[in-house]
Chains A and B, each alone.
Chain A
């Protein structure tokens, strides 16, 4: 290629570097300690070369994140202080905190959504994590046929949540499989109920279905955590005379700590973002008993075209999730 003049004080060309020159070895630097500034700068230049390549590698992800995450978040932040509409001939107008005031004082469905979202998360996070752990312990036994059970528990996870929701909607009907099942095990004493049409059973019904659908995923994560715990620790524990419970408490559980933190954070975020099940099964009803923050934001912001107000709800949701994630991070921090 070309050789650049010795004192590289001028601006560096961005391309056209000789590949051989850009990768000086340490020996090269060692044998020529008294070299001119040109050679002394070589390692730095190669570092910059490396940076450039790194930026290039990061670019696809960075551009996509910027376009589809950062820009929308900033837009939502700005729009939430306006009366922007999805469809309108009039330009959006700045309305200050009106949208936020409306959410907390003039929109009981929003408050209801807030409560439902947290109810859902408070039940789903511990139950789904706990059940996942129990299943993981069960399928971690060294017995024949555990692979079969692992697959069975994992099937709902790879099934589309929309399909699962539609099927469960049928199952929850008064003449659906769930009512007939309870009916037959209680010998006909059961009065069948329309689970999803009753304000007091709709949210629990969705909670049960959601846990069933997602528990397999967290079982797999727990399982991977379990398999990282070295067998020697169990052997040592057994030699000390530890029973199964003591082994779990003193070996398994501490060994699962990083897995536990990961599972806690992912389930919480997934639970707070509850949307598809609601959209397919109940549309927020009956009597707002299953409406959630994300569903409400979509309904107000998109279906009712109130972009500004929908953005305000999304912003509130964003701040809440951020606070919860930070609290979790603080509580599960490494205390050392």
Chain B
């Protein structure tokens, strides 16, 4: 009896553990309390970003105070674990109503049925920068308050001292000008004159370096069919990009090590820095008026920068009153004041003109206004569910090229990997 009891107790503990695990996964969202406002759940990736979180908290408080029908309840995750959390939640049918997501992943999640068409007033989405709206199958699935942009940071005094022309948006550096500028700067004593950010990894690689590929005339995938990368990622233009990119490192014009961020530029260890708007304020503090924000070089097909940052969507499991609440919240949150608050706190480019006008840094005459002109060069990363594979494949291929692999061979293999995945998914519905 005693022993049987122990055994039963042990089994009961295990069962309880298993059940509680299932129970947690099964907690449903968007439930209506018998009385009181409908709860609308919201997840963000901004747990590690207090500036961003502060604005969200403000919006939610304002929204919850502004009406009695809905109450937005938020949970924030660190960015590193966020996508995993979403995929896990979606697999167990446990997604919140509102969730934010990185722009390029939107087609994948829309195709997979994680998110539903946004359904908010088109007055709002039409006003946004085109790169701040996520579209799949001609439907709007996501919208964001901002976009980011990459630029070349430089010191005016350094460029002038070396007789290097200061480029403008209308007249950017050509490839030859850019190459000779780098060589001049190297001769002027900069060990590796360009900080291109190669020490970073992950999504940064396709975000930062596929625009350079596009400026050469190549691309990550053939955008006329979205069925193959053949010809786009391994054609002559792409190979020219690969050889140029490899050359930056073999000739010592750029370094593949260093610290992530813009410290090398701020300490004047590099002359040029290819980096994002989010580093601009720090560099402005370090360099002051001498800082110039330049468009990236025109490598053949005009300057290009990556477009598409974090955006908001509504999960497909959201329905009924919670769905109405989610839409009401989003419409409420696109107030120009909030858009400006995101821009100024996080140092990102506001997605609406009204928001830009209210922004301290990005409005007419603001210190970071040059960035708003760069958004005209923005190219979205390919809007296909295959992007998850394209992204890591391109990252690996570009890293291999940086480290001296044969360019044509590496790109051919990347094309094979991407095409194998597309074939495996029966073309992703294209």
Q: Is A57 an interface residue (CB 8 A)?
A: yes
Q: How far is the CB of B8 from chain A (nearest CB, A)?
A: 7
Instruction: Output the nearest chain B residue to A84 by Cβ-Cβ distance.
Output: B424
Choose, from A249-257, A259-267, A283-291, the stretch at the interface: A283-291
In A267-286, which residues have CB < 8 Å from any B CB?
283-286
Residues of A contacting B399 in the complex (Cβ-Cβ under 8 angstroms): 283, 285-286
Q: Is A153 an interface residue (CB 8 A)?
A: no
Q: How far is the CA of A284 from the CA of B112 in the complex (A)?
A: 29
CB < 8 Å neighbour of B11 from A18, A22, A59: A59
Contact assessment for B389 and A305 in the assembled complex, using a CB-CB cutoff below 8 Å: yes
Instruction: Output the nearest chain B residue to A99 by Cβ-Cβ distance.
Output: B424
Q: How far is the CA of A50 from the CA of B399 in the complex (A)?
A: 62
Contact assessment for A56 and B396 in the assembled complex, using a CB-CB cutoff below 8 Å: no
- Interface range on chain A (Cβ under 8 Å from partner): 35 or more
Contact assessment for A56 and B421 in the assembled complex, using a CB-CB cutoff below 8 Å: no
CB < 8 Å neighbour of B7 from A55, A63, A83, A305: A55
Instruction: Output the nearest chain A residue to B257 by Cβ-Cβ distance.
Output: A194
CB < 8 Å neighbour of B400 from A16, A288, A306: A288
Q: How far is the CB of A56 from chain B (nearest CB, A)?
A: 2
Known A89-B111, A197-B256, A306-B424: A56·B400 in contact at CB below 8 Å: no
Instruction: Output the nearest chain A residue to B419 by Cβ-Cβ distance.
Output: A106
Residues of A contacting B1 in the complex (Cβ-Cβ under 8 angstroms): 15-19, 22
Residues of B contacting A15 in the complex (Cβ-Cβ under 8 angstroms): 1, 4
Residues of B contacting A306 in the complex (Cβ-Cβ under 8 angstroms): 389, 421, 424
Most chain B CB within a 10 A radius of its CB, from A16, A198, A285? A285
Q: Is B260 an interface residue (CB 8 A)?
A: no
Q: How far is the CA of A197 from the CA of B113 in the complex (A)?
A: 40
Q: How far is the CB of A85 from chain B (nearest CB, A)?
A: 7
Q: Is B2 an interface residue (CB 8 A)?
A: yes
Q: How far is the CA of A288 from the CA of B13 in the complex (A)?
A: 46
Q: Is A225 an interface residue (CB 8 A)?
A: no
Residues of A contacting B3 in the complex (Cβ-Cβ under 8 angstroms): 49-50, 52-53, 56
Q: Is B19 an interface residue (CB 8 A)?
A: no
CB < 8 Å neighbour of B14 from A59, A95, A284, A305: A59
Residues of A contacting B11 in the complex (Cβ-Cβ under 8 angstroms): 56, 59-60, 63
Known A52-B4, A53-B7, A55-B7: A304·B400 in contact at CB below 8 Å: no
Q: How far is the CA of A54 from the CA of B284 in the complex (A)?
A: 71
CB < 8 Å neighbour of B425 from A57, A85, A102: A85
Q: Chain B binding site: helix, strand, loop or mixed by DSSP?
A: helix
Q: Is B426 an interface residue (CB 8 A)?
A: yes
CB < 8 Å neighbour of A199 from B404, B421, B424: B404
Q: Is A96 an interface residue (CB 8 A)?
A: no
Contact assessment for B403 and A106 in the assembled complex, using a CB-CB cutoff below 8 Å: no
> Beta-carbon contacts of B417-430 to A below 8 Å, as 1s and 0s?
10011001110000
In A62-85, which residues have CB < 8 Å from any B CB?
63-64, 67, 83, 85
Residues of B contacting A303 in the complex (Cβ-Cβ under 8 angstroms): 388, 392
Contact assessment for B388 and A287 in the assembled complex, using a CB-CB cutoff below 8 Å: no
Q: Is B173 an interface residue (CB 8 A)?
A: no
Known A55-B7, A174-B257: A60·B421 in contact at CB below 8 Å: no
Q: Is B33 an interface residue (CB 8 A)?
A: no
Residues of B contacting A88 in the complex (Cβ-Cβ under 8 angstroms): 112, 425
Q: Is B187 an interface residue (CB 8 A)?
A: no
Instruction: Output the nearest chain B residue to A172 by Cβ-Cβ distance.
Output: B257
Q: Is B92 an interface residue (CB 8 A)?
A: no
In A115-145, which residues have CB < 8 Å from any B CB?
none
Q: Is A258 an interface residue (CB 8 A)?
A: no
CB < 8 Å neighbour of A60 from B13, B417, B424: B13
Instruction: Output the nearest chain B residue to A102 by Cβ-Cβ distance.
Output: B420
Contact assessment for B426 and A304 in the assembled complex, using a CB-CB cutoff below 8 Å: no
Known A102-B420, A106-B416: A57·B10 in contact at CB below 8 Å: yes
Q: Is B124 an interface residue (CB 8 A)?
A: no
Q: Is B18 an interface residue (CB 8 A)?
A: yes
Q: Is A188 an interface residue (CB 8 A)?
A: no
Q: How far is the CB of A183 from chain B (nearest CB, A)?
A: 16
Known A56-B3, A89-B111: A285·B425 in contact at CB below 8 Å: no
Contact assessment for A283 and B201 in the assembled complex, using a CB-CB cutoff below 8 Å: yes
Instruction: Output the nearest chain B residue to A283 by Cβ-Cβ distance.
Output: B201
Q: How far is the CA of A108 from the CA of B416 in the complex (A)?
A: 11
Q: How far is the CB of A139 from chain B (nearest CB, A)?
A: 38
CB < 8 Å neighbour of A87 from B109, B405, B420, B426: B109
Q: How far is the CA of A95 from the CA of B6 in the complex (A)?
A: 48
Instruction: Output the nearest chain B residue to A1 by Cβ-Cβ distance.
Output: B1
Instruction: Output the nearest chain B residue to A308 by Cβ-Cβ distance.
Output: B424
> Beta-carbon contacts of B96-126 to A below 8 Å, as 1s and 0s?
0000000000001101111000000000000
Q: How far is the CA of A57 from the CA of B6 in the complex (A)?
A: 8
Contact assessment for B6 and A53 in the assembled complex, using a CB-CB cutoff below 8 Å: yes
Instruction: Output the nearest chain B residue to A194 by Cβ-Cβ distance.
Output: B257
CB < 8 Å neighbour of B392 from A16, A57, A60, A304: A304
Q: Is B87 an interface residue (CB 8 A)?
A: yes
Residues of B contacting A168 in the complex (Cβ-Cβ under 8 angstroms): none
Q: Is A247 an interface residue (CB 8 A)?
A: no
Instruction: Output the nearest chain A residue to B84 by Cβ-Cβ distance.
Output: A302
Residues of A contacting B2 in the complex (Cβ-Cβ under 8 angstroms): 19
Contact assessment for B256 and A63 in the assembled complex, using a CB-CB cutoff below 8 Å: no
Q: How far is the CB of A299 from chain B (nearest CB, A)?
A: 7
Q: How far is the CA of A216 from the CA of B201 in the complex (A)?
A: 32
> Beta-carbon contacts of B392-419 to A below 8 Å, as 1s and 0s?
1100100110111100000001001100
Q: How far is the CB of A273 from chain B (nearest CB, A)?
A: 21
Residues of A contacting B112 in the complex (Cβ-Cβ under 8 angstroms): 87-89
Q: How far is the CA of A276 from the CA of B186 in the complex (A)?
A: 38
> Beta-carbon contacts of B379-398 to A below 8 Å, as 1s and 0s?
00000010011001100100
- 24 inter-chain pairs at a CB distance below 8 angstroms, sorted by A residue, are A15-B1, A15-B4, A16-B1, A49-B3, A56-B11, A57-B10, A60-B11, A63-B14, A85-B424, A87-B90, A87-B108, A87-B385, A88-B425, A102-B420, A106-B416, A109-B396, A199-B404, A283-B201, A286-B404, A287-B405, A303-B392, A304-B392, A304-B421, A305-B389
Closest 3 CB pairs of A and B: A56-B7, A286-B403, A53-B3
List 8 extra interface pairs beyond A89-B111, A198-B403, CB under 8 A: A52-B3, A60-B14, A85-B425, A87-B112, A90-B425, A288-B396, A306-B421, A309-B424
